[in-house]
Structure 1
């Protein structure tokens, strides 16, 4: 390691540096000795150095520091007064910074007593004006003797390895759970939450109060102290709301960080924002990792699915930590992996969430068909879903649905007391707009988003129901045949949900040359995440041989048998007055996807008729366009 002892002239950096080098058995170098003659002459005359004077000197020192670092270490005494200069010296290495800090009065007194040094004491004021004290490194008072100062520095260096190796900002549900997961896996950790008077006060400290057994965790509500507590290169995970809050937090961190430090965004940020932040922080010589995290509160605490992306050199430095806390697949491999460059990790998390929307909606439609169309009571539906959970329809979402259908309050089903207005966050809408941008058919997953939007119009729906006298009709007779068809229809719908989501991933991956590995993505979604399921486990193998789910031989065999069940169930439900947006969109998507000749030729003719948009012909070479004057 290279230790840089710095501060204004007269602080004692040469004396302290020499004594420290002797104690550590390191060579000592004085930065002043590397100044060219022209700089020395200026300083003797009391003329402040300009950047034009300093930059060549600093670049020369930077090369020396890298050499000393490779050859076992050194102690360097150097002014390094502001961050701009320190950034030059830090390039390509991670020196340890020790600021010798003292009052103007004390340092002036020392300068007045100096003999034979070329620094004119009149320059002290300009040096104090230039000095920028960073949050990183160590700050040691010069009130003590040089020997005592060296002992203080030596103590700090000996205990340097006790710095936290990871930091988490944001102690909301997910941030707190991930922090506890890291701590439980023996990761020395610092946690921080912003301080807002009368609203958010000592939030991080309260986490330690709530979990007093956590011995690997330090709490801060002061950002500079939090950053200083981390070993370099610093690794800081942001678990804060997406959008402007992330940009604001980044701007607060930048002045406190050193080149090579890593900021990780673990929230649900839009992938284009992550693309922008990767480039922006690269200009600042910092690394940015966009990381999708799925699993909810329980997953974050016990093992989530983690999807990091960005500069591979940055992900490589944090992946081992993610592997410690991630869920494990059936073979025991962590459900995390390097996804790809830029914001690809946040992108696939966005798609994950849109598949999640559709999977949830498909389950509610199956539930609604049983309850309203078949007239089944909740206990009967619970029993049916429980049997589904034993086969290839098993999933985490089906598991929690069974729990919901088995939860009672005062002998009444709690579900029946919940208002039927479904909320949503940004990821569902982002997926829809991204699909439109890239021209990817996304109707099935879009309908899941729209179903939530229409559910929110509770008052309007209630009034319209009265006006139209609408009430779904129940069927009579044997329910067993319909239930058998319903199970096949539900599974067919789910296959289509996954095909639609992965097709968007393929289109965007191809456009950006991300080279996404769909089999590996499916693997890290087999545990920890919300859409984990038996179907996802099958998809790992399917995507190892194809990037089009509907063209895999095993899927073809399944869909040939089950798509007709999906059409029957969707038709019966709609005919009897039930809205089935995802079931009906799924069969429409599937039939459109396997139709060789569609009516789109009529659309092209219409477009050419009113707008002269031209069309291609089946009897002409591909790419050749025609226009017809349809009516004289």
Structure 2
């Protein structure tokens, strides 16, 4: 069935751009938003683009539902609203008018548990509910986003032709959307995407600071570096690197034409003010599932520290100026450092962000029996999303299609191991130089340590295991017994017998 109209609930930056995309594709958007400002902005966009005949405002949910039902057949709704209670309130408002066969696509950054709860709520009424990750920000929403839907087979089958129509297209014209799996799997994949995104963004910010403060390059020069990285090599066609070049070169209109970037405070608040929950949830999932994800976790913690600029300034004053990054000294070949070492270091950190996110997804997939196809997941990330990185995704696709792939231990796959081994010395050099100059490199250094301890058969945790056994009788394995599984050991040594009060005296 061709979808000719959609009911859009929520028209903020994403919802308004999606509405314009639908109109451009000939799909009539009937929308509701309690914010008069959002309503006015979308109506203004509709006038400017000549789409007033395809974008209609409704002041209540009843009117919107009646308009969608005028042509008969199942009705398609889309949520583009803040995560949490907003979706439940929207369902409450729609529920009196919903009928069997109607379909709701939740395009918000929602927690996957909430998605599954709503699916169970609506299922007895025959109403489909899809948890649908939509990636790429408001710009991709305008011309075609990356889409990761999850829900029942009937729901995905009904929605898929529509989703193929609106999704981003790769170089061959194939839509970047796939029927991922049941339940909350679609929102889970989007959550993992955003965790990977945070790791990549922080590592790229650190690389920018190394070029800016460490090598005292001006913004135009840094833009040139990013452009070259985005043109060839392992960072080619990387969305974040590409927009990084634009950001470095963009100047304000008037006022002397200063670089916009030079006026922006170091203050990322989206995690702390809870407007963006996916990064927090990704870290929590990694911890809950016992999956090492240090690049993603360190990036999240760095963003949280960034948010409270006032607290950091207070500490800086107490320290009499704090730790101030300095210029990197001792680099003999600057060009080699920039275009070989730093590029390879960033690539390694990007790749390890993907690996860590995919390991979280793999463990969740096994636990919830979603039966995800990881090649499909990677294809969703081909275009229209923030973590788009052609070389890395193509590499990972080859790995998943090969016999060498252990989806729970991608670092043991020869292809990935070779890539990281080739980048190791560059990553180590960059971290060493940055630390010597007091530059901030939590993501790059976390990636370095992750690679080191993941590939080591002899960690200092043997001493930690001994201490755990000393005070808690937690047991241990013997080196002669082989690595075994991550299970409690069978040996205990009575390091010091427990004594009573009188005996201790």
TM over 0.5: same fold? yes
Structure 2 distance, partners of 1:188, 1:386, is 39
1:292 corresponds, among 115, 120, 133, to 133
Equivalent position SS for 1:454: helix
* Unaligned runs of at least 5 residues, structure 2: 271-275, 498-505
Give how far 1:294 is off. 0.5
Residues 23 and 51, structure 2, Cα contact 8 Å, conserved in 1: no
Q: Which has the larger radius of gyration?
A: 1
1:221 corresponds, among 32, 56, 59, to 59
Equivalent position SS for 2:114: helix
| 1:594 and 2:466 are equivalent in the alignment | no
Structure 2 distance, partners of 1:243, 1:287, is 19
Query: Which moves more between the two structures, 523-532 or 378-387?
Result: 378-387
Q: Deviations 1:256-309 (Å, cap 9, x if unpaired)?
A: 111221111100000111111111211333211100000111101101001110
Structure 2 distance, partners of 1:485, 1:203, is 46
Structure 1 distance, partners of 2:394, 2:138, is 23
| 1:626 and 2:491 are equivalent in the alignment | yes
Structure 2 distance, partners of 1:485, 1:175, is 41
1:423 corresponds, among 255, 269, 279, to 269
Structure 1 distance, partners of 2:2, 2:207, is 54
* Unaligned runs of at least 5 residues, structure 1: 1-160
Q: Name 2:412's counterpart in structure 1.
A: 551
Residues 204 and 220, structure 1, Cα contact 8 Å, conserved in 2: no
Give how far 1:474 is off. 1.2
Equivalent position SS for 1:290: strand
Structure 2 distance, partners of 1:489, 1:281, is 48
| 1:359 and 2:235 are equivalent in the alignment | no
Structure 2 distance, partners of 1:202, 1:386, is 38
| 1:475 and 2:317 are equivalent in the alignment | no
Question: In the TM superposition, what are the counterparts of 1:526-541 in structure 2 within 5 Å?
Answer: 526-534=382-390, 535-541=392-398
2:296 corresponds, among 442, 445, 459, to 445
Alpha carbons of 1:199 and 1:526: their partners in 2 closer, same or farther (altered >3 Å)? closer
Q: Deviations 1:401-424 (Å, cap 9, x if unpaired)?
A: 111110123232221111111122
Equivalent position SS for 1:631: coil
Give how far 1:202 is off. 6.8
Give how far 1:164 is off. 5.1
Q: Name 1:124's counterpart in structure 2.
A: none
Give how far 1:617 is off. 2.9
1:577 corresponds, among 438, 445, 461, to 438
Residues 163 and 229, structure 1, Cα contact 8 Å, conserved in 2: no
Question: In the TM superposition, what are the counterparts of 1:453-464 in structure 2 within 5 Å?
Answer: 453-464=304-315
Q: Name 1:350's counterpart in structure 2.
A: 191
Residues 2 and 162, structure 2, Cα contact 8 Å, conserved in 1: no
Q: Deviations 1:105-126 (Å, cap 9, x if unpaired)?
A: xxxxxxxxxxxxxxxxxxxxxx
Give how far 1:254 is off. 1.2
RCO higher in structure (CA 8 A, sep ≥6)? 2
Alpha carbons of 1:202 and 1:453: their partners in 2 closer, same or farther (altered >3 Å)? closer
Structure 1 distance, partners of 2:202, 2:288, is 24
Across the aligned residues of Structure 1 and Structure 2, the Cα RMSD in angstroms comes to 2.2
Structure 2 distance, partners of 1:593, 1:212, is 56
2:14 corresponds, among 161, 174, 183, to 174
Q: Name 2:231's counterpart in structure 1.
A: 390
Alpha carbons of 1:201 and 1:374: their partners in 2 closer, same or farther (altered >3 Å)? closer
**Number of equivalenced pairs:** 470
Structure 2 distance, partners of 1:567, 1:598, is 19
Q: Name 1:305's counterpart in structure 2.
A: 146
Give how far 1:334 is off. 0.2
Query: Which moves more between the two structures, 589-598 or 532-541?
Result: 532-541
Give how far 1:468 is off. 4.8
Equivalent position SS for 2:280: helix
Structure 1 distance, partners of 2:38, 2:137, is 23
Moved over 6 A (4+): 198-204
| 1:377 and 2:377 are equivalent in the alignment | no
Equivalent position SS for 1:307: strand
Residues 204 and 219, structure 1, Cα contact 8 Å, conserved in 2: no
Q: Deviations 1:491-513 (Å, cap 9, x if unpaired)?
A: 11111111011110001001001
1:542 corresponds, among 396, 399, 409, to 399
Q: Name 2:273's counterpart in structure 1.
A: none
Give how far 1:200 is off. 6.7
TM-score (norm 2): 0.88
Structure 1 distance, partners of 2:60, 2:120, is 28
| 1:191 and 2:31 are equivalent in the alignment | yes
Structure 2 distance, partners of 1:376, 1:205, is 44
Q: Deviations 1:592-628 (Å, cap 9, x if unpaired)?
A: 1111222222222211211222223344595662222
Equivalent position SS for 2:496: coil
Alpha carbons of 1:199 and 1:333: their partners in 2 closer, same or farther (altered >3 Å)? closer
